[in-house]
Chain A
Amino acid sequence: MTTMRSPYDDLPPQAFWRTAIVRQKPEALAHLYHPKFDLTANTAIMTAGSCFAQHIHRSLSTAGWHVLQHESRADIMPLKLAKQYGYDVYSARYGNIYTARQLLQLLTEALNDTPTAPLIWQKDGRYYDALRPSIEPEGFASRDSVIHARQEHLRAVRALLQQTECIVFTLGLTECWIDSATGRALPTAPGTVAGDYDSSQTHFHNFTHSEVLADLRAARDLLKSHGLAHRFLLTVSPVPLTATATGNHIGTASTYSKSVLRGVCGELDQTDPDFSYFPSYEIITTAVAGGPHFAKNMRSPTPEGVDAVLGIFAMSHATDTATTPPSVPVPPTDDTAATEEDDLICEEALLEAFSK
C-alpha cells in the first residue's frame, strides 16, 4: 500500500481554518502576523493614513510605543478641542491621508527645498488648505495665513521624517479626486468641507493596483534618496467606503478598493524587505480574531476590535509595552492651579484689607 503525501500534511494549526478560526487556538492567533522587522518600544514610529489610523495612533501612543508627535497640542488646549483642529490625531497635523498618492505628495513636498504653491479652497469668505481642509474647521481669514500654516506644517513633517524609523501607514481608499491643473490628489472632493466642485478643474480617479504599488515604492525610494531608510508597516483600513463616485454599488466599490489595497500590501510584504503588512483589516472584518468587530452601523470598528488589533500587534512584537501605563497628556492648566507663593500673596492681601 502506498502512503500518500500532501504538502498540507505537516502544516501548523494556523494554516487550517478549523483549528485557527473555528477553535480559535491562541497559538494560531499568535501566528496571524509575522513581523518582517523588529519593532521595539524605542522604535520611532510615524503614523499616518485614513480614519482607522487614528485608532492606531491613539492605541499605540497610549500603550507606550514610541509614537512621534510633532505639531503637538500645547497643555493649554483641551484634548477634545485640539483634535478638532488636527492636533495629536497623527504624528503631525496632516489630517487623513487616504491614498498612497497623497502620502507620496506629502513626503515630496516636505522634502522639497522649494515650497510648492498650496492649493487653496474658499468657503464663506474663509480660506482652506485643500490638502488638509479639516484641520482648520473655520478656515483662515486670508490666503497668506494658509500659506504660512502650510509652510510651518511641511517643516514639521520634514523634522518628523528625520526622526522616524518606521512609518505605520493605513491605506484607506483607491477612489480619489484630482486637481486637474496640478495633478495633485485631494483628500476629499471640493464642496465637501470647502471649495466648490467644478468638473473642469477637478476629476475623479480610481487608483489601480499597479498605481498604488508604484506610489508606495516611490515614497520609499524618495526617502532613501534623502538618506532616510524608513521601513513601512502597512495596514488597510477595515472601514468600508462611505460613498463611491464610480457609478458602481457601494458594496462592490468598497470591495474593489479594499481588495486592491490588500493586494498591494500582500505583494509588497512578499517581495520587498522595506514593507511589512499588519492584518488589522482581517482582525476587524473577518472571524480570524473573534470578529467581525463592527458597531451597529456596520462601518465603525468596535473598541474590542481595536483592542484586538493592538493586542495582536504587541504580542507579535514580543513586547510588554501593551501593559505599560498609558502616557496620559497633562491636563490643561487653569487659574485654579495656584502655587504656594500665590496662596501666600492672596492671604496677605486679604489680611490687609479685612483686618479689623
Chain B
Amino acid sequence: MTTRVALIGNSHASALGAAAARLDAAYPDLDFSHFALPRHGFQRAHMDDHGVLHADTDNRRDEAFIIKLNGSASIDLTPFDHIVVAGIGFNRRTLFAATEAYDILDLTLTGKEHTISLAHLQTLIDSRVRGNLLRTLEILGEDARITLLQAPYETEQILTVPDQLLEAARHPDAQYLMDMFETLIKGAIADSPYQVVTPPHALLAAPFLTKAQYNRAADIDAAQGRGKADFTHMNSDYGFEIFKAFAHQQLNLAPQVSCDKREV
C-alpha cells in the first residue's frame, strides 16, 4: 500500500524539489507531492475548513509565480499520510544576534563589553522557538501528520562574508550552543502534536555550519552567470539526506537503491 507524503515548505523546499527524482527512485513505496511557497511562505498562507492550504497573495505577480511553481495556488492536504514541512527556522537569528551582542556568562567569555546569563539566554531562545512554533501551529493547525524540518544552517562559505551567525559559529562553546538550541526545539515540539527533524550532524562542517558541498550554488553552472552568493539554500544532495533522516526517524524506512545522484 502506497504511503502518500506531502513535501511542502518555503524556499527551503527547493532542496526537496531538486531531489524529487532521486526520492521517487529511492522510496518506491512513497508517493510524493511537492508544494512550495516563495519568500516566507506559510506566513502568507491559510488552511481552510476542508484541509486545503491556500497561498495568500496580494498581487498577480506572486500568484503567477506560485502557480508556475506548483501548478496551483493551493494544495489539498487531506489525502496525505504524512506532511513534511521544510524550512522552519525557529527564530535562530535571535541566538545569533545574542551571541553577537553578548558574552554568555557561565560559558567561555570572549571579551565582549556586555553579557547575558546562560539562563537568560536559554529562556530567551526558548520563548522565541515557541513563538515561531506557535505561528506555524496557527497556520497549519494541530495535525499529528506534520513533521517540521528545521531550516538548514547556512553553509560554511558564509564564513567569508560578514554575518550575524559568525559569532555563534566561532564561539568557543558553539557545539554547546547548537545543542542547546536543538534541545529547546525538541522540547517545544514535544509539547505540540508535531514531530521535528533537526539537521543531521553528518551534514555539518561545524556547529551552525552546513558542509560546503550541500550549498545550492554547487549545483549551479557558473557559466549560467547565476553566481550570486546564496549560503542559505541547499542542493538536491541535502534535500535527499534530510528526507532520509525523516524517513528513518518517522517511517523507519531506508532508501532502497543507491543514493548516488549520478545514477538517477
| Complex Cα gap A258–B102 (Å) | 41
Given known contacts A76-B98, A81-B123, A335-B92, is B40 in contact with A353 (CB within 8 Å)?
no
Given known contacts A140-B105, A145-B106, is B228 in contact with A345 (CB within 8 Å)?
yes
Q: What 1/0 flags go to A230-242 for Cβ under 8 Å of B?
A: 0000000000000
- Chain B's interface size range is 35 or more
Contact indicator B230/A345 (Cβ below 8 Å)? yes
Contact indicator B43/A336 (Cβ below 8 Å)? yes
Contact indicator B43/A136 (Cβ below 8 Å)? no
Partner of A354, one of B17, B40, B92, B230: B17
**Smallest Cβ-Cβ distance to B41: which chain A residue:** A346
| Complex Cα gap A333–B95 (Å) | 11
Given known contacts A334-B128, A335-B91, A336-B43, is B14 in contact with A349 (CB within 8 Å)?
yes
Contact partners of A338 in chain B: CB under 8 A: 39-40
Contact partners of B98 in chain A: CB under 8 A: 74, 76
Contact indicator A140/B119 (Cβ below 8 Å)? yes
Given known contacts A76-B98, A145-B117, is B39 in contact with A354 (CB within 8 Å)?
no
Contact indicator A351/B39 (Cβ below 8 Å)? no
Contact partners of A330 in chain B: CB under 8 A: none
| Complex Cα gap A147–B40 (Å) | 43
Contact indicator B106/A140 (Cβ below 8 Å)? yes
| Complex Cα gap A305–B39 (Å) | 48
Q: Does B18 contact A (CB under 8 A)?
A: yes
A356 CB, min distance to chain B CBs, angstroms: 8
Q: Does B232 contact A (CB under 8 A)?
A: yes
Contact indicator A148/B38 (Cβ below 8 Å)? no
Q: Does B127 contact A (CB under 8 A)?
A: yes
Q: Does B115 contact A (CB under 8 A)?
A: yes
| Complex Cα gap A78–B117 (Å) | 16
Contact partners of A140 in chain B: CB under 8 A: 105-106, 117, 119
Given known contacts A335-B132, A350-B69, is B97 in contact with A74 (CB within 8 Å)?
yes
Contact partners of A351 in chain B: CB under 8 A: 68-69
Contact partners of B94 in chain A: CB under 8 A: 76, 332-334
Q: What 1/0 flags go to A141-167 for Cβ under 8 Å of B?
A: 110010011001000000000000000
Contact partners of B43 in chain A: CB under 8 A: 336
Contact indicator A346/B10 (Cβ below 8 Å)? yes
Q: What 1/0 flags go to B135-149 for Cβ under 8 Å of A?
A: 100000000000000
Given known contacts A78-B127, A140-B117, A348-B226, is B14 in contact with A354 (CB within 8 Å)?
yes
Partner of B106, one of A142, A342, A353: A142
| Complex Cα gap A75–B115 (Å) | 15
B146 CB, min distance to chain A CBs, angstroms: 18
Contact indicator A347/B119 (Cβ below 8 Å)? no
Q: How many residues of A contact B (CB 8 A)?
A: 37
B24 CB, min distance to chain A CBs, angstroms: 15
Given known contacts A332-B94, A333-B97, is B114 in contact with A350 (CB within 8 Å)?
no
The secondary structure that dominates the B interface is helix
B249 CB, min distance to chain A CBs, angstroms: 23
Q: Does A77 contact B (CB under 8 A)?
A: yes
**Smallest Cβ-Cβ distance to B69: which chain A residue:** A354
Partner of B14, one of A81, A336, A353: A353
| Complex Cα gap A145–B216 (Å) | 42
| Complex Cα gap A132–B18 (Å) | 55
Contact partners of B92 in chain A: CB under 8 A: 335
Q: Does B218 contact A (CB under 8 A)?
A: no
Which residues B42-100 have CB closer than 8 A to chain A? Answer: 43, 65, 68-70, 89-94, 97-98
Contact indicator B114/A152 (Cβ below 8 Å)? yes
| Complex Cα gap A332–B232 (Å) | 22
Partner of B38, one of A136, A332, A333, A343: A343
Question: Residue among A145, A149, A349 with the most chain B CB within 10 A?
Answer: A349
Q: Does A85 contact B (CB under 8 A)?
A: yes
Question: Residue among A76, A145, A345 with the most chain B CB within 10 A?
Answer: A76
Contact partners of B159 in chain A: CB under 8 A: none
Contact partners of B128 in chain A: CB under 8 A: 76, 78, 332, 334
Q: Does A139 contact B (CB under 8 A)?
A: yes
Q: Does A274 contact B (CB under 8 A)?
A: no
Q: Does B11 contact A (CB under 8 A)?
A: yes
Q: Does A124 contact B (CB under 8 A)?
A: no
Partner of B39, one of A145, A343, A352: A343
| Complex Cα gap A141–B108 (Å) | 12
Q: Does A138 contact B (CB under 8 A)?
A: yes
Given known contacts A349-B216, A349-B230, is B120 in contact with A85 (CB within 8 Å)?
yes
Q: What 1/0 flags go to B112-130 for Cβ under 8 Å of A?
A: 0111011110011001100
Contact indicator A346/B39 (Cβ below 8 Å)? yes
Q: Does B34 contact A (CB under 8 A)?
A: yes
Contact partners of A149 in chain B: CB under 8 A: 105, 115, 117
Contact indicator B115/A347 (Cβ below 8 Å)? no
Give 27 pairs: A residue, B residue, CB < 8 Å, sorted on A.
A76-B94, A77-B124, A78-B127, A81-B123, A81-B127, A140-B105, A142-B106, A145-B117, A148-B105, A149-B105, A333-B97, A334-B91, A334-B128, A335-B132, A336-B40, A343-B38, A345-B232, A346-B40, A347-B65, A348-B226, A350-B14, A350-B69, A351-B68, A352-B216, A352-B220, A353-B15, A354-B14
Q: List B residues at the A interface (Cβ < 8 Å).
A: 10-11, 13-18, 34, 36, 38-40, 43, 65, 68-70, 89-94, 97-98, 101-102, 105-106, 109, 113-115, 117-120, 123-124, 127-128, 131-132, 135, 216, 220, 226, 228, 230, 232-233, 236
Q: List A residues at the B interface (Cβ < 8 Å).
A: 71, 74-78, 81, 85, 136-142, 145, 148-149, 152, 332-336, 338, 342-343, 345-354
